[in-house]
Chains A and B, each alone.
Chain A
Amino acid sequence: GEDVEQSLFLSVREGDSSVINCTYTDSSSTYLYWYKQEPGAGLQLLTYIFSNMDMKQDQRLTVLLNKKDKHLSLRIADTQTGDSAIYFCAEKEGTYKYIFGTGTRLKVLA
Chain B
Amino acid sequence: DSGVTQTPKHLITATGQRVTLRCSPRSGDLSVYWYQQSLDQGLQFLIHYYNGEERAKGNILERFSAQQFPDLHSELNLSSLELGDSALYFCASSGTADYEQYFGPGTRLTVT
Contacts and interface: CB of A to CB of B under 8 A. Distances in A.
A8 to B, nearest CB: 11
Contacts of B103: 35, 42-45
Contact of A97 (B45, B50, B99): B45
A84 B42 CA distance: 19
A30 B101 contact: no
A96 B35 CA distance: 13
Interface residues of A, number: 23
B24 to A, nearest CB: 14
A96 B31 CA distance: 9
A102 B42 contact: yes
A103 B42 contact: yes
A22 B56 CA distance: 25
A98 B46 CA distance: 10
Interface string A29-65: 0110101000001111100101000000000000000
A43 B90 contact: yes
A92 interface: yes
Contacts of B105: 41-42
Contact of B2 (A42, A101, A103): A42
Max chain A Cβ within 10 angstroms of own Cβ: one of B2, B43, B45, B92: B43
A98 B101 CA distance: 10
Given A42-B104, A96-B48, A99-B45, A48 B99 contact: yes
Contacts of B4: 42
Interface string B5-47: 0000000000000000000000000010101000000110100
B42 A97 contact: no
A92 B99 contact: yes
Interface in A44-96: 44-45, 48, 50, 88, 92, 94-96
Interface of A: 30-31, 33, 35, 41-45, 48, 50, 88, 92, 94-103
